[in-house]
Chains A and B, each alone.
Chain A
Amino acid sequence: MEGFRIPLGEWVDDGLNWLLDNLEWFFTFLSNVIGALVDGLSTALIQTPIPVMIIVFALIAWLLRSWKLALGTALSFILIVGLDLWTPAMQTLALVLVAAIIAVLIAVPLGIWSARNDAVRAALKPVLDFMQTMPAFVYLIPAIMFFGIGVVPGIFATVIFALPPGVRLTELGIRGVDGETVEAAQAFGATPSQILRGVQLPLALPTIMAGINQLIMLALSMAVIAGMAGADGLGKMVVQGISSMDVPMGVESGLGIVLIAVFLDRCTAALAQPSPTSLLGLLEHVRQEKRKADAEEAASEASELVVAGPRRAPIA
């Protein structure tokens, strides 16, 4: 097999170069938009006074899950402040949120499409496998070629890596909706889009939310790799810790990532399964009680009317 060598890498390189030559305006545009989004968000998070932000995070936790999580959230963020990691933590949060939002915007429609079309599903499956198993560092090379050093290639790699569970679980959720229920909607004359909006998406929501939760977790796990591409934040500090064998720095910034991960995971998991102990759950409960009370009041008024009505008037 002397001389047998498939120059696959070079072909890919040629292809990427061609893209770079011909679509440079597009990459510049993307780079500017995404960069502005992350910068704007991280600036907003950093500029807001720290106590306000901690209260906001705690409120979000309470709103979605419970006062216990709110307390835990407040403590974690106070710990982050105590480790002097606030600014990099907010930068990482901004990066993860922007990457996750972009990934969700791509993953959910793709998942819906592949749930409704077997050909799309067959075509997507190997692509998703490829995206998920290819070592994430590899995405960084073309990403840096396209977008230069900074936060945008980090986001690019993160989106690609975090996309698959979002697509897969969206598809699984929609395909898992009871066939008879979909048939019922059809039998009453619903259009495909009415079935999607009124039946399939609402019923698949818990599974889709589980996919989004997974997607966010994967995005966070990419924070370090994004740091290698030059994105500011906790990931960059971890990379610096590794390169200078700085144990305190590595441990502290690693812990910061863990704390943010726990916060995001608990909050997004609660999105999939709304808990009755959350503020939202409590509000819903109060509203139901009120409705019930109203109904009873109306009923008792009605019965009083009957009692006091002319037909029932006591004969003097």
Chain B
Amino acid sequence: MSEIALEAHHLYKVFGRSPQHAVKRLKAGETRTDVLDAGTAAVIDASFTVNRGEIFVIMGLSGSGKSTIIRMLNGLHDITDGEVIVGGDDIAKAAPAALRKIRRERISMVFQHFALLPHRTVAANVAYPLELQGVGKAERLARAEEILSLVGLSGWGDKLPSELSGGMQQRVGIARALAADTEILLMDEAFSALDPLIRREMQEQLVELQSKLQKTIVFITHDLNEAMFLGDRIAVMRDGRIVQIGTPEDILTDPANDYVEQFVQDVDRARVLTAANVMEPARPVVPDTAGPRTALRQMRDAYMSATYVVGRDRRLVGIVTDRDAVKLVRKGGSSLSGILKPVPQTVDEDEVLMNLFIPSVESPLPLAVTDAEGRLVGVIPRVTLLAALGPGPGATGELTIPVQPMPTTEIDQILAEEVR
């Protein structure tokens, strides 16, 4: 089994009178508006691969061709030109019966407006794909009940879809797609018709389900925040073409063109960027074998009142404050271990910025970022955290350290002179 679940090569979809002719002209380099007389080009030269077990998000505004693309992946729209390979079979060349078999066994779909059968109960809706696969009634209803409990709807099987809220109906839609037990799941704006709060909840539930089930998901959305939250990789579409494919961080920090850059301006960066994306090299840091003088020198150079102390394997062991270090030097001590204090706050490198604000406020030092083994990999000063929220790729780069205030004794002196 290869790692690739689905491939699309040079897909074209033209609606209108002479689609083939329009494709020929598009291939020759004419633009979408040039070929309007031959037909409306909804998808132009789209190529991408979807890996097994990833969530691949296709993102674009309405009219960008994303809904057309997803319908070409399971043959609901016939393919004007190009090929879609699913498990070795080309969807474009499949005969109707073969195509139905592929849809029954390999690709299922979740729809924007749920598209449940209103005259059937919830359980019968979930069992529908199994019914089409020819599974017996008792077995398919039992499976439906299992899957309903997986999406948190156990006990609702006897209800009609109209008795459920929108979010619950879409969970039925997801349960129905899961019931088919296909490897690939197509989700067409699955959460767009839901209220923002419910949408958030459903996104989190999808991520949770995905961690359990490891399906290959192609997710369509016009909401960049949703794309960033769900996507392992994102394809950004504009006017029928894919303009960039990359991870959420790639797209945010390295937009391929002005369009993508404009687009990502509105992204809630705090929910996309992780600690690892914005952290800086850990600056006031000393090994636990060092003496208090080394520690004080480090702190002075970094304008900090405390420093992190790491073990031999860079594992974080604690912090040392300047006052304690000064006392230790006066006492003539040489080992830092006596004055070590526990680390006030650490965060995991995969944590999104959203969850760093409170730790950052509570930490007297720049926030320590650790990896899975507890090693110190970097720090995040508060200004860095603030700057990371602003637009532009440069925001996460080097920062100037604010000018230090003058010592208070000097200022007091000046003020005292003035009064006199």
Q: Is A198 an interface residue (CB 8 A)?
A: yes
Smallest Cβ-Cβ distance to A187: which chain B residue: B109
Within 8 A of B (CB), among A239-298: 291, 295
* CB-based contact B119/A184 at 8 Å: no
Within 8 A of B (CB), among A148-195: 178, 180-181, 183-191, 194
Give Cα A186–Cα B100 distance, bound, in whole angstroms.
8
* CB-based contact B108/A188 at 8 Å: yes
Q: With A180-B112, A190-B132 as given contacts, are A202 and B76 in contact (CB-CB < 8 Å)?
A: no
Q: With A187-B108, A189-B132 as given contacts, are A181 and B76 in contact (CB-CB < 8 Å)?
A: no
Q: Which residues of B contact A295 (CB under 8 A)?
A: 158
Chain B interface, number of residues (Cβ within 8 angstroms): 28
- Identify whether the interface residues of A are mostly helix, strand, loop, or mixed: helix
Chain A interface, number of residues (Cβ within 8 angstroms): 19
* CB-based contact A187/B132 at 8 Å: no
* CB-based contact B101/A180 at 8 Å: no
Q: Is A199 an interface residue (CB 8 A)?
A: yes
Task: Return A293 CB to nearest CB of chain B, in Å.
Answer: 13
Give Cα A194–Cα B102 distance, bound, in whole angstroms.
17
* CB-based contact B132/A203 at 8 Å: no
Q: Which residues of A contact B117 (CB under 8 A)?
A: 181, 185, 198-199, 202-203
Q: Which residues of B contact A186 (CB under 8 A)?
A: 76, 103
- Identify whether the interface residues of B are mostly helix, strand, loop, or mixed: mixed
Q: With A189-B100, A191-B100, A291-B158 as given contacts, are A183 and B118 in contact (CB-CB < 8 Å)?
A: no
Task: Return A198 CB to nearest CB of chain B, in Å.
Answer: 7
Q: With A180-B113, A194-B132 as given contacts, are A187 and B76 in contact (CB-CB < 8 Å)?
A: yes
Within 8 A of A (CB), among B129-164: 129, 132-133, 158
Q: With A189-B132, A190-B132, A291-B158 as given contacts, are A184 and B100 in contact (CB-CB < 8 Å)?
A: no
Q: Which residues of A contact B101 (CB under 8 A)?
A: 189
* CB-based contact B111/A180 at 8 Å: yes
Q: Is B104 an interface residue (CB 8 A)?
A: yes
Task: Return B129 CB to nearest CB of chain A, in Å.
Answer: 4
Q: Which residues of B contact A184 (CB under 8 A)?
A: 109, 111, 115-116
* CB-based contact B104/A183 at 8 Å: no
Within 8 A of A (CB), among B81-136: 100-105, 107-109, 111-113, 115-119, 128-129, 132-133
* CB-based contact A183/B132 at 8 Å: no
Q: Is B180 an interface residue (CB 8 A)?
A: yes
Give Cα A194–Cα B74 distance, bound, in whole angstroms.
18
* CB-based contact B128/A183 at 8 Å: no
Q: Which residues of A contact B180 (CB under 8 A)?
A: 188
* CB-based contact B113/A189 at 8 Å: no
Top 3 A-B residue pairs of the complex, sorted by shortest distance between their CB atoms: A189-B104, A189-B103, A184-B115
Point out residues on B near A: beta carbons under 8 Å. 71, 74, 76, 100-105, 107-109, 111-113, 115-119, 128-129, 132-133, 158, 176, 180, 186
Point out residues on A near B: beta carbons under 8 Å. 178, 180-181, 183-191, 194, 198-199, 202-203, 291, 295
